[in-house]
Structure 1
Amino acid sequence: MDQDLLDDLLSRVSRFASILGISRSELKIYSTLLLEGQSSARDLSDKLNISYTKIYSILNRLEERGWIKKVGKRPVRYEAVSLRDLWSNIKKLLELRVSQFEREFIEPLSTMIDSSSAYTVVVVPSANLKKTLIDVLNEPSKQYLIAISSQELLDDEVYQIINGKSFTSEVRVIIQRGIKIPEKVSIQLKVLDNMFGSGIVTSSSVLLVIKSHESLSGIISNHRYLVDIAQVYFNHLWEQASPIGTNP
């Protein structure tokens, strides 16, 4: 396993993962088990330089989340579930966190203000995704921060809308390497090798798009706190991204 490459990957994803309550140590232990195969708690402790007491605590959390499972006895060994199962697990966690935030903060707060000012957090099914994406792009906004990791999101219609917005607003676009774009580009455009998902951030809303089992779905919200988080995360990705035509 290329430890430097793994450390770089964990550094890039840890900030986002922390929003979901997932620690860097949890990501590192899961990744080690996935890449190197079954291991005992003692071996993991020695290999990752994590105390034996702490390693058990983390392994228990990962097992409760369904990221790893026990194999054999004396000593008990652990193995990672597949990436497909992990992604399904994380999607459920993301939906749970959004629902919890809505239930514990958005809904109580909305009762204290006029209903016309209430914020929304809405799950967007695959069938409505393109219409919602175009609706967000057509919102009046001073800026449009756009990340595209799936080719199906960047068809001619969507690209023309994005290009048109660049004449009246600040438009910055990050695409995942391999996404095809028109030869003549008039927008601020950068490229990253890998991204968590796709999304659009305007001055007043955020649309997050994720892909699972070859199907796209999304979450859209106009909550100021979520918009601010999305802007910060996009700007972090923008700093990491490379201009089109350069190698990472």
Structure 2
Amino acid sequence: MTASALPPFALLQPGEAFPAYASVSEEFGPLAIGGDLSTRTLQAAYRQGIFPWYSTPPILWWSPDPRMILPVDAFRLHRSLRKTVARFRLQARCEIRIDTAFAQVLHHCAHVPRAGQDGTWIRPEMQAAYRRFHEAGHAHSVETWVDGELTGGLYFIHIGQAVFGESMFALRPDASKIALAALVALCRKHGIEWIDCQQNTAHLASLGGREIPRAQFLERLQQTRDLPSPAWTFHPADWQYLLDTQ
């Protein structure tokens, strides 16, 4: 592709507003380049369905079309995972915790190897930015603990009642899937209908994820981003919102 054939994208200065969607295509590249990772910028980005993703500077900002989401009522708790969750639920030495080890979860998401991936997009400056976002109340971790040891988990962003899944890790088999199942249970408890998954993967599709047009995603986001945020806490009884509906 020649330089003249490249689609337009915005070059952002720190603190500068993101461009209108009508002026930018993501068929071949990001929505915008540059800017900063301040809490204010991250909040503005997520409110518009935009997220940062890059392996080396500069910062690249994305808003895929189509967009992958996981409707929580379509979450597929396959037979083997259902048995795993049921066993986890009944053992006193196993527990789900929220926000007790956010920095550790972030670190493991960045450094635990994944099949088919080299390196990480969760760079040190990205980790620092999301720790600040966590301190501001917009980023949370769902953690899988066994015998007092962190074995897996995920972190997510929420803006109002819009939930954006970011990354997960597992140090033991199925630990990240258990954390995702717990997040689905919490979303069902609070009447949250979908979790943003950003981009399509076979793993997410196997769990019930599907693609929708970006315009439809943005319409859903606009309807939920200003609603009152739930209290992100997990109690063992909350498993009922998952297991009793499968």
With normalisation by structure 2, the TM-score equals 0.22
Q: Which has the larger radius of gyration?
A: 1
| Greater helix content | 1
